[in-house]
Chains A and B, each alone.
Chain A
Amino acid sequence: MARLLSRNIFQSFSDFGGCSALVRNVAVGREARWWSNEASPAVKVTAPRTSLNQPGLQTEEQLGLWYTLEQDIAKQLFGLGGIPKQFATQCKTFAETCLMIRKPALTTIDYIKKTNLALPPNKFILYGREGVGKSLSLVHITHFLSQDNWLLVHIPWAPRWRRGFKEITASATVPGRYDHPLDAVIWLQHFKSQNSQLLKTLQLETSEEYKWSRREVTEAGAPLIDIVELGISRARFASDCIMAVTTELKKHATHQRCKIAVVADGINTFFCLTSRYRLEDLTYLNPENFTIFQAFMQLFNNNWRNGVVVASVDSLANDGARRESYLPRYLLRQKVRSALILDGRH
């Protein structure tokens, strides 16, 4: 980047007609200053890049180097979320998405490669202070998972569904549950964009019939992509579609028809006690009543195989009152009565 910039500067200098105009403006009588390339060559700064753009092939030798994420892959994987906003602006400015190869991401990728898929899913939690690189490490790992033919269930920034939701409606199918019509549609589009190729090759099918309304029915044995497309077209059913998709994926994974990677940024938000949605009795809804939360939380159980969960715990994903520490146990363990605190452990 610096290299590109320095070239531009010298370009503009030569536009001044050999810098003679500048020299003339310098006071006569003093010895003239020369601003040309030859007299004082600029120090060319080159970013330490590597051409090894496949995360699966990167080793410890590439630690600290930047690799380029192709634009089309970046758009396909993270077009609807995943790359933090600030970093995305930088990528837009420089017209390229480059990630630094760092140890946490490499270690996790290494563990994922060595995972025993016959056991319940391994859960890899990235933790650390704010701004330390958790989200970007997840981007790196997601890129690897996508290249390694894992079916991605990617939650870009979970707290958005708890506190920045677009709309909440009461679920028509299950009383007491609440849907996210618009957010569910966006997620289904994201899921489709990430996994469309793989879904075509895997040809996963539904195991049971889903009746959405009197006229809309998805038969058993229909391709799974149908449910996804139905959810995208019908926002009313989108949350239930997500629930159906996740249940089906769990079954498929357990029967070894595919391997599923759940990637979640800010997973501790799933264990928060309140959301921003206010009910009629003026209390705040517990997010465990959200359909999509229930859909994804069933993937955090131990009752399926052939999967892996990679997540980050972020203090910003919690409410303000529970952000004192960045350590995972503190951030995840929220259902504790604070009335009795015998020591500072809670």
Chain B
Amino acid sequence: MLKLGGVTPRLYSQVLRLAASCNIHTTLSTFSELKAEENEEFRTLELRSKKFVRQPARVMKSHNVVPPRYKRQKVDQDWGNVWPAARTFHPASVPLPVRQGYPASGQVTPDKWGNAELMKIPNFLHLTPPVIKRQCEALKKFCTPWPSGIETAAEQEKYFPVMVSKSTYLHSSPTLRDQKARIVTLRVSLKSLDLDDHGRDKLLRLVKNRHDPTTDCLTIVADRCPLSQQNYDYCFYLLTVLYNESMKTEPWEHEKEVADRERYIWEGSPSQAALQAIIDSNEDSTPEEVIEEYKKVVIDLHNEGEDEPTLSRYRDSVMKLVGLA
């Protein structure tokens, strides 16, 4: 911008004329003064059509936002009416300040507003205890009383040792069916089956990992037939066959060797022979309790497993036996 201070109007106009002839763009700060002076002589050349007028800033229309629903909820409202069925999480309806999600660095856990994590997961807001109670009360008229005589778990186990479970599915899609509905699971505790030692050992070898040693339960899962009724029959057939086979003793079972045994048996073991050799060589008679203790400790070491406590008990017992204690 050409800044001229203390210059006469005459000089100004001379400059303008010069600029115009040379096609030089000029702007003058005292344009209005000049215009007033020059009005009589020349028409003003307005290079700019309009003066730049600053418009006022756009005002965003503030909509009347209804406050979230939870602000209008009473404290003693019936929640079952607010959330009657399973529904995706809706932050405005839930009066709880829940937070979920991994916080960004330096931030707090994201709040419930627009929280995809909260919306993705299933919520059980439709199953609060009072609602459940109400539903149970409503269902009660369709129920029969629990049979007497099987109130406790022990009685249930005694009269109904076998537990059969299956799942049914209902789809709202072109087909109603689900293949998983054919799977039938049969669960029975081995205590309910009257098996002797041999029978139990044979059954465990037949079923392998279908037996859970901690709960002593046999679980048979059948899914090889297309219908659940067929799988149910198959489960019971398997149970029958397993039981009957376990009770039988085949002629070749006597070929079982020491290495095949599932449990350590003291009678006829090398430890028994070694103990006998020590007792025979001992001039003073070995006390009965030392012998019994050794026997017990060796059986424990093999059957319970080897760790520092069983090993140290074995060590102490041997020391007593050979007179080094």
Which residues of A are in contact with B by a Cβ distance under 8 Å? Answer: 111, 114-116, 118-120, 122, 302-303, 305, 325, 327-330, 335-337, 340, 342-345
Query: Interface code B195-231, partner A: CB below 8 Å = 1, 0 otherwise?
Result: 0000000001100000001000000000000000000
**Interface set, chain B 270-309, CB cutoff 8 A to A:** 273-274, 277-278, 281-283, 301-303, 305-307
Any chain A CB within 8 A of the CB of B36? no
Name the one of B282, B302, B306 contacting A119, with C-beta atoms under 8 angstroms: B282
Asked whether B306 lies within 8 Å of A342 as measured between CB atoms, the reply is: no
Separation in Å of the B281 CB from the closest CB of chain A?
Answer: 5
Q: In the complex, what's the smallest C-beta–C-beta distance from B300 to chain A, in angstroms?
A: 11
Q: What are 13 A-to-B residue pairs whose CB atoms are below 8 Å?
A: A115-B322, A115-B324, A119-B282, A120-B281, A327-B307, A329-B306, A329-B311, A337-B260, A340-B205, A340-B262, A342-B213, A343-B213, A345-B302
Judging by beta carbons under 8 Å apart, are B323 and A116 in contact?
Answer: yes
Q: Which residues of B contact A325 (CB under 8 A)?
A: 306
| In the complex, residue of chain A having the shortest beta-carbon distance to the beta carbon of B301 | A329
Residues on the B chain within 8 Å of A120, using CB: 274, 277-278, 281
Interface of B is mostly: helix
Q: How far is the CB of B52 from chain A (nearest CB, A)?
A: 72
User: B259 at interface (Cβ–Cβ under 8 A)?
Assistant: yes
Q: Looking across the interface, which residue of chain A has its beta carbon closest to that of B310?
A: A329
- Please name all residues of chain B whose beta carbon is closer than 8 Å to the beta carbon of A336 when the two chains form the complex: 259
Contact A114 B324 (CB under 8 A): yes
* B306 in contact with A327 (CB, 8 Å): yes
Main SS at interface, chain A: loop
Contact of B305 among A302, A328, A345 (CB under 8 A): A345
Bound form: Cα–Cα A162–B323 in Å: 36
CB neighbours (8 Å) of B278 from chain A are 119-120, 302
**Alpha-carbon separation in the docked complex, A111 to B302 (Å):** 25
- B265 CB to closest chain A CB (Å) equals 14
Whether the Cβ atoms of B324 and A329 lie closer than 8 Å is: no
Q: Determine if B324 and A122 form an interchain contact, defined as CB atoms under 8 angstroms apart.
A: yes
> A301 to B301, alpha carbons, bound, how many Å?
21
- Are the C-beta atoms of B322 and A119 separated by less than 8 Å? yes
Chain B residues with CB under 8 Å of A115's CB are 322, 324
Q: Which residue of A lies closest to B264 (CB)?
A: A345
- Assess the B323–A330 pair: CB atoms within 8 A: no
CA distance A234 to B239 in the complex (A): 68
Inter-subunit contact A116/B322 (CB<8 Å): yes
Interface centre among A343, A344, A345 (most CB of B within 10 A): A345
Cα–Cα distance between A303 and B305 once the two chains are bound (Å): 29
